[in-house]
Amino acid sequence: MIHLVVADETQTGVVAELLAALFEEVGHTPTAEEIAAIFSDTEADDHHSTLLATDDDGDVVGVLTIVETLSLYAGGYIGVLNELYVVPEYRSEGVGKILLDAAKALAEERGWKRLEVTTPGEEYAKTLRFYEREGFMEIGPRYKYMVD
């Protein structure tokens, strides 16, 4: 059985390790140490939430980070899923859905207009199908500008 926990500073290490694994899979470069340094800032901000999925042994098998933001185009507050990662051994076992259902419940509880997620791209077709099965729809590409 999978259990949900809201992460706090005591889980910084495990959150950092899971997110470092995610970033390595999708070609990003933050290390666990860099992530851990940022995590303390996000946990101090009440607009951010980090959910952990644990198995019956208490091992963390998934993580989801979400942030609240105000969006004029969406007509109010929305939630943005920044990261969702499930350890490989637990993929296709419902862990991602449990985390996503918790994010949907949080959205309803907080009165958000919608949830948005940036996906890693078409080369991750299985990930895209997962979000589509969960009711997400494509809204277009997202671009970034790197500030020096």
Q: What is the CATH number for 86?
A: 3.40.630.30
* Selection from 6, 5, 12, 99 nearest residue 48 by Cα: 6
Q: Give the DSSP letter string of 15-74.
A: HHHHHHHHHHHHT----HHHHHHHHHHHHHSTTEEEEEEE-TT--EEEEEEEEEEEETTT
pTM for this entry: 0.91
pLDDT of residue 14: 95
Range of the domain at 114: 3-133
The number of domains in the chain is 1
pLDDT of residue 43: 74
Structure letter (DSSP) for residue 111 = T
> 116 lies in a domain?
yes
pLDDT of residue 148: 80
> 84 lies in a domain?
yes
Judge contact between 46 and 6, C-beta under 8 A.
Answer: no
pLDDT of residue 40: 79
Give the mean pLDDT per block of 10 residues along the chain (148 residues). 93 95 89 89 85 96 97 95 96 96 96 92 89 93 85
pLDDT of residue 123: 86
Decide the pairing of beta strands 3-6 and 76-86: unpaired
> 21 lies in a domain?
yes
> 146 lies in a domain?
no
* Selection from 117, 71, 79, 73 nearest residue 96 by Cα: 117
pLDDT digits (tens, 9 = 90+) for 97-138: 999 999 999 999 999 999 999 887 888 899 999 999 999 999
